[in-house]
Amino acid sequence: MAGFHEDEAQYGREDFVLLDNVDIDSFVANLRKRYNTSRIYTYIGEVVVSVNPYRPLNIYDDNVIKDYKGREIYERPPHVFALTDSAYKTMKRTGKSTCIVISGESGAGKTEASKYIMRYISAVTNVKGQREVERVKDILIRSNVILEAFGNSKTNRNDNSSRFGKYMDINFDFKGDPVGGHINNYLLEKSRVVHQQAGERNFHSFYHLLTGGSEDLISKLHLKKDPSSYHYTNQGGDWKVTTINDRKLFRDVEQALKSMGVGAAESETLWKVVAAVLHLGELNFEEKPTRSNAHEVVVTTKAVAKHLAELLSVSEEKLLKTLCFRVVAAGGDVVEKGHTEKEALFAKDAFAKNLYDRMFTWVVATLNSVIHLEKDIRRHGAGSVIGVLDIYGFEIFDDNSFEQFCINYCNEKLQQLFIELVLKQEQDEYTKEGITWVQIEYFNNKPICDLVDKPRQGIMAVLDDACFGVGKVTDQLFLEAMDKQLGNNAHYSSRGTDRSDKTLVHGRDFRVKHYAGNVTYSTENFIIKNKDTLFQDFKRLMYGSSNPVLAEMFPDGDKHVQEVTKRPESAGTHFKNSIISLVDNLATKTPHYVRCIKPNEIKSPNSFDEERVRHQIAYLGLLENVKVRRAGFAFRMLYTRFLARYKMLSKETWPTYRGRVEDGCRAILSKEGLLDDVQFGLTKIFIKTPKSLFSLEASRSARIPPIVLFLQKHWRGGLARRMVAKMKAIRIIVARFRRYKLRRYVVSLVEKLKYAKSMKDYGKSIEWPAPPKVLSGFVEELRRAYRIWRARMILSNVQPNEWPVLRLKVAAAEELMGKRKDWGQSRKLWKGSYLAGDGNFQQVVDALQRKDQFSSILFSHRVLKVNKWNQNRQRAVLITDQFIYKLDPGKKATYKMLEKFPIVNITSISVTGNSDQLAIIHLDGGNDLIFHLAADANEDRVGELVGTLNSLWQRKQNRNLRVRIGDQLSCMLGNKPKCVMVQPGGCQGGSNVTFKKGNVPGEIVLFC
């Protein structure tokens, strides 16, 4: 019973059992509404009615599979996945085998439904990924590709119509994983091999080969890549189908055969058989007179016969003999009887049909050998089976022959089983629950089945007697025998039993009143098709083939021509026995049904042919199915599930009911005033009319919104509180984690640096352990602390009176280290004021200090200066904390002040990267100081000058003084740009140092 998941006003009722009126008009109207809104599935209880949408729908992906996995059938909207899951759960829960019966006419979507069933089973099993189980699942799915290629065809009703019945058993182990399987095929439509109606095709395999086969393969098979060139593939007209990619499907079949373990030689043999059938269609015969004035049939297309013999691995001579003659044993003698041209053509077509049929049977047997389950209870457990039956639906054509008769008989038997099992399920459920059984009136089609298969009295028995009786029996004599035997049967009629019925052709037609409607059959070729005659000569020919696969297909060819055999089983009897065996097998399983409906004949997603749909509803017995389901009670549900679904309708049961479940259900129904319309079973509640169920659902729908709001409010509050608690926990965890990481890192670092104090470089050469990312910032602080400690350790070995010099050296090193070869770093003593011992200099300094109020002398030195006229002048430079003074020492060392510059006027200082004593102090105003320090030989004092100015600049400006280092130094003299460079050589003790004008305008060269 379906639940209520979508708006029924828009999408219709999800279960036909819940229709207000159970009649054909209401049924069709509901089906149309659901079809027009892309709801192709509808329930009848637990039967799925499926309408072919003729377009892809996004309702089969992995997310949809997850929605249906493990759910009860009414918990989600109707779907074939729900039915499959129900069958699978039933098998796992009870340990009993189940089956899914798919029925409907050609083009109704049976094959697609079986594919979706296989896909669902594959998706929900083997959650542990066992290799063997995956192999079986892969084979079960790939088998469809092979079976469709060799057993499906394009018809006027369906581009991919199954022309055979298929029943597949899937074996499961005790865990519910597929471990094997078995395929049974029924009544391949082999007449299609030699004849197709206009607009139809032969089996797909022919077109796959002719369009997808490689050039080498086509050449080897002596074919042309043109299906219109062959009689067996061009009868239907245009062979191309837009929905079928024959080229791609040929590759898919080859890959599927390979994955199934079919060897290259065996695979090639299959295509050889297909090619041989095509060549058989090209054979022509001609009757020629003999010397005795008789006529003898000969093959006129000898080249074709030669190719055919090669493909079948038989002697060309024997092949020609078999095609034109028949060996008969009579009275102990062996007689060779020649064919007429008509007989030869008949024998050729019979051979083509039989050859293809046996190949298809071999393919099915090969698939079974690959997926067959070896019974190993210790390994797999007892296990169970899910059977999937995909079989032809009821067929009523303008011209109905032997094939339609067999197919419709099959559907009669399945309908009989369906009614019996549905009724039995209903009766068993009522008995189990202690509910009084209600007698249900339904159409019982057992008399129709008896009409066909009753021993010695049914149509099949009469047909066999006609086929194997003494003398020549024609189709008309067969019809007369039926009239005589079955004339009084209410479900049989012919012109001989009802002379007033002008719709029946006299001597040819008979009519059977099937449950789906009256069907008129033509007896023409009934006897030939039932005999399914293939002369023993062909069997012996193929049994003697040097190709072992072909010989294996004809095991009955080993009999000697004079050997007496029992009467062979006719095609009709073989089919009847197979169907009876199938029905007996299905009767032992728990059945599930998919009823497929074709909405129109034009394969359009937008057309709903009401007349065609009504016809299918009738012959599928869907309306009777609804009546059977509704005859007793329209709805039933377990007490526990009923209470869980409707407990919000009564204050007694909401939110939690503590008493007996049955009493809770009574309280709900009493509150809704529905006690008179229900009965209480042992475990289930039974509701008689859909109206009561709709009333319950309406009340439930009204109560759901406030409950949802209430739950949302508390759930969101709970989520928020949970999130806050998680955030707090995260903070604590992160803090503890950081502390733990820090502690571990510090311990490892201490271990690394524990001997650093005793090392010469105080651990500078020690490589620190790599820190965790979370501590990267903190580790930088540790490194800074280490550097401070190391500096203090180094300074601890330096006397306090040496610290000022050390500070100057640090200031100089910041700018010159690595950029100038020697900057005086090795000199221990930096005096600063190198003129301090001169008394006259000291007097001038004291006077300047009183006048300019500077605090201290930082640097003083004699220099050789160059002016704007490129003249060398002996001068002295005095640097204080406020000014730079340019002094003229004079001949008597009077140190006359020539010019002073505020310290703030300094912009930068330039020196070379060599050992010369050139320095340029750049000043605002366009007149820089360019001089050479008159230092002792091998004693660099430029570094001391740079360190002094940089240290002063750091104190005053809180930044380093810009220091330029290069071989050519730019400067300004007299507001003109100059370039100063050094020419080393000829300088001894600084006595020969001189500035000279260079060769280039504005160039000054210091020779030293």
Active site residues: 106-107, 111, 158, 161-162, 393, 395
| 590-597 and 47-51 beta bridge pairing | parallel
Other CB atoms within a 10 A radius of the CB of residue 442 amount to 15
The span from the CA of 671 to the CA of 667, in Å, is: 6
Residue 442 one-letter amino acid: Y
Instruction: In whole angstroms, give the CA distance from residue 129 to residue 175.
Output: 13
Query: Phi, psi (5° rounding) for residue 593?
Result: -125, 140
Helix (H, G, I), strand (E, B) or coil at 330: strand
Residue 256 token pair: 């599927």
CA angle 574, 514, 390 (to 5 degrees): 55
Task: Determine phi and psi for 932, rounding to 5 degrees.
Answer: -120, 125
Give the Å distances, CA to CA, from 298 to 322, 351, 937: 11, 17, 129
Listed in order, strand segments (DSSP E) in 417-566 are 492-494, 509-514, 517-522
Token pair of 158 as six digits = 């369906």
Cβ atoms of 387 and 84 closer than 8 Å: no
Instruction: Catalogue the long-range contacts made by 901-904 (C-beta closer than 8 Å, 24 or more residues apart).
Output: 901/929, 903/952, 903/956, 904/956
Q: Which amino acid is at 108?
A: A
> What would you measure as the largest C-alpha separation in the chain, in angstroms?
166
Question: Cβ distance 589 to 97 under 8 Å?
Answer: yes
Distance CA 31, CA 613 (A): 9
Q: What is the DSSP string of 685-704?
A: EEE--HHHHHHHHHHHHHHH
* Backbone dihedral angles phi then psi of residue 224, each to the nearest 5 degrees: -120, 145
Asked if 931 contacts 971 with a C-beta cutoff of 8 angstroms, the reply is no
**Cβ(409)–Cβ(452) below 8 Å:** yes
The rounded distance, in Å, linking the Cα atoms of 282 and 132 is: 46
Joined tokens for residue 752:
């690394």
Cα–Cα distances in Å, from 942 out to 306, 836, 947, 956, 1005? 111, 18, 9, 21, 18
Question: 624, 441 in Cβ contact below 8 A?
Answer: no
d(CA 537, CA 652): 85
Phi, psi of 584 (to 5 degrees): -60, -40
Q: Contact 185/240 with Cβ under 8 angstroms?
A: no
- Find, among 752, 747, 742, 644, the residue nearest to 700 by Cα: 644
Q: Is 749 helix (H, G, I), strand (E, B) or coil?
A: helix
Sheet of 41-44: strand order equals: 41-44, 47-51, 590-597, 98-103, 384-390, 165-172, 178-186
Report the candidate in 956, 970, 959, 867 with the shortest Cα–Cα distance to residue 922: 970
Find residue 593's DSSP bridge partners. 101
CA dihedral 307, 310, 313, 317 (to 10 degrees): 70
Whole-angstrom distance between the N-terminal and C-terminal Cα of the chain? 113
| Tokens, residue 329 | 């044993």
Q: Are 896 and 882 in contact (CB under 8 A)?
A: no
Measure the CA dihedral 680/683/688/690, to 10°. 130
Pairing between β-strand 857-866 and β-strand 929-933 as defined by DSSP bridges:
antiparallel
